[in-house]
């Protein structure tokens, strides 16, 4: 237990060392030179702005405006991609039929459909969710397809010899075997969703963290802008830590880590 504790400290300490010293150096250097710029802000000012945003709840409001379309987009686009991906992974005929369509649609940058979604939905959460859904659909579809297609044929032979029905082969063999890689796909997809959400908010949709960042920039408040950027970094980091932890909990014991 105590060994684990020191391992934890020695792991975390060097990681914090660099950003914290960078902040201290920036603060002292900027105070010493008295530099004035619309693109810079004192770390202490940024921290104060962040505290203000937390205190009046604005940062949470903006976060909800960004997270809600991400949730809707990932749930719809991701689920659809997952289902079609499973289907294409199981059926070579379906995969052959679909590949050209996929290769034609997939390269379209999600932000390129902003004008289309504005025509259909106007501005607001639905428009943003639609773009995120489009962005999430393709990686989820392709990665799920590959995950299912690469399930060891031996497992399907076992299933056939045991007399499992096709439905049971999918539910009890194919899906659990592909699950770890599908989960990795989900992590990747959530990262993409965050990028697309903020991009959409900066470019077109006056809501959420992206719009807060560009508003702060345009109103010459670099401290507020940096505060929102810091908040985004923290959000992204928490998301990744949470998902990594969940991944280990779900698949750790069966991924061969528990051997010997």
Residues that bind other proteins (CB under 8 A): 152, 154-155, 157-158, 160-165, 168, 172-173, 176-177, 179, 251, 253-259
Q: By C-alpha distance, which of 221, 194, 239, 223 is closest to 51?
A: 223
Question: Could you tell me the smallest distance in angstroms from the CB atom of residue 118 to other proteins?
Answer: 45
Question: Could you tell me the smallest distance in angstroms from the CB atom of residue 88 to other proteins?
Answer: 23
Distance CA 80, CA 78 (A): 5
How far is CA 255 from each of CA 70, 177, 179, rounded to the nearest angstrom?
30, 11, 11
Question: Could you tell me the smallest distance in angstroms from the CB atom of residue 245 to other proteins?
Answer: 19
Which pair of structure tokens corresponds to residue 131?
Answer: 């773009």
Distance CA 127, CA 64 (A): 16
Q: Which one, 106 or 166, has the nearer CB to other proteins?
A: 166
Question: Could you tell me the smallest distance in angstroms from the CB atom of residue 251 to other proteins?
Answer: 8
Q: Which one, 103 or 257, has the nearer CB to other proteins?
A: 257
Q: Which one, 36 or 260, has the nearer CB to other proteins?
A: 260
Distance CA 257, CA 244 (A): 15
Q: Distance between the two ends of the chain, CA-based, in angstroms?
A: 21
């Amino acid at each position: 237990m105590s060994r684990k504790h020191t391992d934890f400290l020695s792991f975390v300490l060097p990681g914090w060392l660099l950003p914290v010293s960078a902040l201290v150096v920036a603060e002292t250097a900027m105070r010493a030179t008295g530099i004035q710029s619309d693109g810079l802000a004192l770390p202490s000012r940024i921290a104060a702005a962040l505290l203000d945003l937390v205190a009046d709840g604005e940062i949470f409001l903006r976060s909800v405006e960004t997270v809600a379309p991400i949730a809707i987009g990932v749930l719809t686009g991701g689920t659809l991609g997952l289902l079609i991906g499973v289907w294409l992974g199981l059926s070579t005929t379906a995969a052959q039929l679909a590949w050209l369509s996929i290769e034609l649609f997939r390269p379209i940058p999600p932000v390129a459909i902003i004008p289309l979604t504005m025509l259909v939905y106007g501005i607001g959460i639905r428009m943003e969710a639609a773009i995120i859904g489009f962005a999430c659909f393709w990686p989820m579809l392709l990665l799920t397809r590959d995950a299912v297609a690469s399930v060891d044929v031996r497992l399907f032979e076992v299933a056939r010899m045991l007399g499992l029905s096709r439905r049971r082969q999918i539910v009890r063999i194919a899906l659990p075997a592909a699950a770890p890689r599908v989960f990795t796909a989900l992590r990747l997809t959530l990262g993409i969703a965050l990028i697309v959400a903020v991009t959409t908010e900066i470019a077109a949709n006056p809501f959420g963290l992206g719009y807060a960042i560009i508003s702060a920039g345009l109103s010459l408040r670099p401290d507020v802008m940096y505060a929102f950027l810091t908040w985004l970094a923290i959000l992204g980091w928490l998301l990744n830590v949470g998902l990594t932890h969940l991944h280990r909990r779900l698949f750790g014991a069966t991924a061969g880590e528990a051997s010997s």
